[in-house]
């Protein structure tokens, strides 16, 4: 007889608003299976961090339900806190204390003590390559070292679910790659359930077994990165124009280009035209010819396989960079609420 395990994280119809009628969540639904890495992907302001705050009992939704490790976040918040580890965007380490002191304090807060605590601290210091810096104050650590310590702090008590909220924001490329490797090892070696929020397309593509693309406080599509990219037929063709066209020209171009053989889903955004094509290489000459006949000058044209950026464009109806810019403005207006 087969048994079905309950999800590690489940949220249904979460709604959250802030003062000033700012809607952070407008019906968030997510399901995270045990032992998987699940990514919430979206620009700043999409609602990712607000979702994490609710799931980690740091905020209450206006309506909706959520369970973590089998515990209701509203009825049993203490049980949830015992079952989770949290790595927030801002470091929670005491900068004056040493790395070892931070880990020992975290362990004592969760009831660890004696030789067992010492073994766990030593194990984490070695695992995250912090043993040589264990007796140094955290204020002297590099950004990458602080982030590794943050993850170690979230693991001291061996949680069932680990929340990583934008774990590589602010890191240089080398430190970011090292953190990606460590997150992959955590998932593989310890079978942890990891819920990762990120606004980096590459990060979600590389780390998450399943992702939920979040836009304006709701999930617009969910699946594995390969599944989502595989749903997009053919190639992505991107054409940069020498100058933007007016509204009338926009309508005319979208209609003209959409009528070309093998061309689908034409989107004109400022000076950039994005097209889905059955065969990108064959479509480029036809596209360029149609633009030339319309008197539109082209600066460049590229062909690529579908990416998560293209997935976002299809389901959110706008480019990821456009959503990022809008999210940054919303974040400021909302006083930092995400």
Residue 235, pLDDT score: 87
Cβ pair 120, 112 in contact under 8 A: yes
Phi, psi of 25 (to 5 degrees): -130, 135
Residue 162, pLDDT score: 97
The radius of gyration computed from the CA coordinates of the chain, to the nearest angstrom, equals 23
Edge-first strand order for the sheet with 210-215 is 84-87, 161-165, 193-198, 37-41, 210-215, 218-223
70/83 Cα distance (integer angstroms): 9
Between the CA of residue 308 and those of 20, 75, 236, what are the distances in Å?
33, 37, 11
Q: Evaluate whether 9-228 and 233-305 have a shared fold.
A: no
Residue 118, pLDDT score: 97
Residue 15, pLDDT score: 97
Intra-chain end-to-end CA distance of the chain, in Å: 44
pLDDT (tens, 9 = 90+) of the chain, 338 residues, equals: 444 688 999 999 999 998 877 899 999 999 999 999 999 998 888 999 999 999 999 999 999 999 999 999 999 999 999 999 999 988 889 999 999 999 999 999 999 999 999 999 999 999 999 999 999 999 999 999 999 999 999 999 999 999 999 999 888 889 899 899 989 888 877 779 999 999 888 999 999 999 999 998 999 999 999 999 888 878 889 999 998 887 777 888 888 898 899 888 888 878 889 888 888 899 999 999 999 998 899 999 999 888 888 888 788 877 677 777 665 545 444 445 44
Two tokens, residue 337: 């609420």
Q: Using the structure block, give the residue that is written with the tokens 């990120």.
A: 198
Domain residue ranges in the chain: 9-228, 233-305
Rounded (to 5) percent helix, strand, coil in the chain: 40, 25, 30
CATH 3.40.50.720 fits 9-228, yes or no: no
Residue 332, pLDDT score: 45
Residue 334, pLDDT score: 45
Residue 327, pLDDT score: 56
* Class (C level, CATH) for 233-305: alpha beta
């Amino acid at each position: 007889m087969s048994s079905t395990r309950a999800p590690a994280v489940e949220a249904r119809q979460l709604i959250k608003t802030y003062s000033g009628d700012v809607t952070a969540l407008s019906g968030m639904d997510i399901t995270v299976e045990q032992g998987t890495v699940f990514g919430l992907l979206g620009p700043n302001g999409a609602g990712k961090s607000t979702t994490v705050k609710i799931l980690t009992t740091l905020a209450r939704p206006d309506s909706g339900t959520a369970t973590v490790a089998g515990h209701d976040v509203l009825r049993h918040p203490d049980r949830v806190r015992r079952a989770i580890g949290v790595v927030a965007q801002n470091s929670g380490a005491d900068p004056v204390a040493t790395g070892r002191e931070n880990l020992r304090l975290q362990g004592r807060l969760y009831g660890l003590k004696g030789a067992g605590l010492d073994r766990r601290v030593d194990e984490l210091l070695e695992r995250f390559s912090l043993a040589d810096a264990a007796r140094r104050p955290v204020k002297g650590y590099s950004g990458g070292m602080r982030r590794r310590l943050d993850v170690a702090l979230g693991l001291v008590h061996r949680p069932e679910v680990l929340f990583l909220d934008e774990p590589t924001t602010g890191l240089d490329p080398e430190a970011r790659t090292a953190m990606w490797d460590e997150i992959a090892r955590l998932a593989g070696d310890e079978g942890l359930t990891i819920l990762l929020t990120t606004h980096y397309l590459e990060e979600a593509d590389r780390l998450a077994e399943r992702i939920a693309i979040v836009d304006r406080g709701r999930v617009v599509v969910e699946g594995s990165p390969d599944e989502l990219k595989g749903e997009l037929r053919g190639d992505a063709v991107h054409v940069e124009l020498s100058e933007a066209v007016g509204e009338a020209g926009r309508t005319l171009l979208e209609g003209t280009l959409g009528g070309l053989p093998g061309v689908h889903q034409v989107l004109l955004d400022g000076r950039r035209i994005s097209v889905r094509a059955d065969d990108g290489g064959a479509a480029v000459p036809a596209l360029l010819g149609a633009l030339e006949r319309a008197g539109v000058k082209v600066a460049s044209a590229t062909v690529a396989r579908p990416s998560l950026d293209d997935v976002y464009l299809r389901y959110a109806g706008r480019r990821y960079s456009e959503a990022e810019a809008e999210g940054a403005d919303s974040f400021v207006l909302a006083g930092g609420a995400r």
